[in-house]
Amino acid sequence: MKVVIVGYGMAGSRLAAELRDRGTDMKITVLGAEQHRAYNRIMLSSVLAGKVGERDVEITEAAGHGIDLRPGVTVTAIDRAARQLTTADGEQIEYDHLVLATGSRALVPPLAGLDTSDLPDRVAVFRTLDDCRRILTTAAGARTALVLGGGLLGLEAARGLAARGLDVQVVHAVGHLMERQLDPGASSVLVRTLAGIGITAHLDAMASSVTADANSVTLGLAGGRELTADLLVVACGVRPETEIARTAGLTVERGIVVDDRMRTSDPAISAIGDCAQHDGVVSGLVAPAWEQARIVARVLGGDDPAARYRPLPVVTRLKAAGIDLAAMGAPAPDGAVAEELSFADPARGTYAKLTIVDERLTGAIMLGDNPAVGTVIQLFDRGTPVPVDRRALLLGRAIGGGAATTAESPALMPDAVTVCQCNTVTKGALVRCWRAGARSVDDVVAATRATTGCGTCRDAVEGIVEWLSTVDSTEVAA
């Protein structure tokens, strides 16, 4: 069976690895438009910050091992009748099953003076490794930077540049930051926290023009105000890369429409990751993309043809020096009777908000140093009842009706607790890995892939491995 994967990003590389790990006799070809091998896009802000290098964010697990990997190859057409692809250099590649993992592209707003096909030297988008290199080239001689966009992507870029010592200003058209994940109260606390690490936020600020020369770039705002800096980073979100699917006649709405098996309107073609739209939703996050890759691998590999994709609860994390944010869930549905509890301490940079429906946590925002964040994530992930006294979750201490704080020792943590949200790795999976012979964090990571997504679970994984290496073996015996 000839399986061709178009796209060698985080979704495409994971699918290739999943298929390889199943030991099937498939011929797997991976075509990547970028010249690089796969890399962890989530960690690009750490590259900006200078905390890690490019080699540290590479994903090498699917390279080689019987996989025909071709970076720098762009697919220009799909002939569905002949089951054949055409590349930019005229090569034709046959497939039995095609998987589109084309990802998404940076959205560049239509501003005067901003040509999306030819950005000025001091302007860059923030999406790919090449974008990151472009930003760093300019930032090397810069003292100030503007970031257009106050969503998750924009704040990641801002904190990376601030970590390099730049004075950063974030310009956001909406009245509060990260409006998809936060409410105005959380945004207000976050604005204050960002100010403490050298990032100024301008809210309700609609950009209207960009003017750049050899020395600086000026962002014009509605009303006539102007902001000038050495560098402008455009981080206004992304759009699914669907053109090749649309041209081939596949059903496309916001993304490439897929069913529960991740099949498109053509059963010989699947789509996963940022480009896929399942049940009306384009996720744009790594954990759903990796789960989708796992489902396609199970179906194509034949070990579970009945496998179906079911979206998992998603937790959005933003963790850096001075910032610790976890946001999950959504507002209560219309008609639902919901409890909403919140606590704010702006001086300490702390904010907590819980949404509870039928004694289950359906949404939460946890910003700052909050000892209960681990327990909140566990309750959200598992759908278990919340404590009788809700203050325990807001304030991070056990009160009256039940302990809400995170376990002081991994020995007290249930095996079913999800430690790595991106890869759905539980504490029990880490313990089983240790029993199987893993004796270091690197061994555990290699076996389970824990920490290889957003990386925010690294401390927890290290703590569990340290506990496993010091306790008596009978304490973790089967």
Task: Please report, in tens digits, the pLDDT of each residue of the chain (478 residues total).
Answer: 999 999 999 999 999 999 988 876 889 999 999 998 889 998 898 899 998 999 888 886 544 567 899 999 999 999 999 999 999 999 999 999 999 999 999 999 999 988 877 888 899 999 999 999 999 999 998 999 999 999 999 999 999 999 999 999 999 999 999 998 999 999 999 999 999 999 999 999 999 999 999 899 999 999 899 999 999 999 999 999 999 999 999 999 999 999 999 999 999 999 999 999 999 999 888 889 999 999 999 999 888 889 999 998 888 888 666 788 999 987 777 777 889 999 999 988 999 999 999 999 999 999 998 888 888 888 888 888 998 888 888 876 543 333 334 444 676 677 877 888 778 788 888 888 888 888 788 888 878 888 877 777 777 888 888 878 777 444 444 4
Short-list 325, 317, 316, 342, CA closest to 193: 325
- CA-to-CA dists, residue 181 to 184, 224, 235, 345, angstroms: 10, 30, 16, 19
Match 């209207």 to its residue by tokens.
208
Please tell me the predicted confidence (pLDDT) of residue 10.
93
pTM of the model: 0.86
With vertex at residue 298, the alpha carbon angle to CA 296 and CA 300, rounded to the nearest 5 degrees, is 65
Please tell me the predicted confidence (pLDDT) of residue 254.
96
* Phi-psi label, residue 185: left if phi above 0, alpha if psi -120 to 50, beta otherwise: alpha
Please tell me the predicted confidence (pLDDT) of residue 412.
63
Please tell me the predicted confidence (pLDDT) of residue 203.
97
Strand 323-329 and strand 360-367: the pairing is antiparallel
Please tell me the predicted confidence (pLDDT) of residue 477.
43
**Cα 164 to Cα 142: distance, rounded to the nearest angstrom:** 10
**Cα 45 to Cα 56: distance, rounded to the nearest angstrom:** 12
Kindly report, residue by residue over 381-409, the tens digit of the pLDDT: 888 899 888 888 887 654 333 333 444 46
Element (H, E) at 169: strand 167-171
Buried b (16+ CB within 10 A) or exposed e, 341-357: eebbeeeebbbbbbbbe
Kindly report, residue by residue over 144-189, the tens digit of the pLDDT: 999 999 999 999 999 999 999 999 999 999 999 999 899 999 999 9
Q: If you ran DSSP here, which 8-state letter would residue 419 be given?
A: E
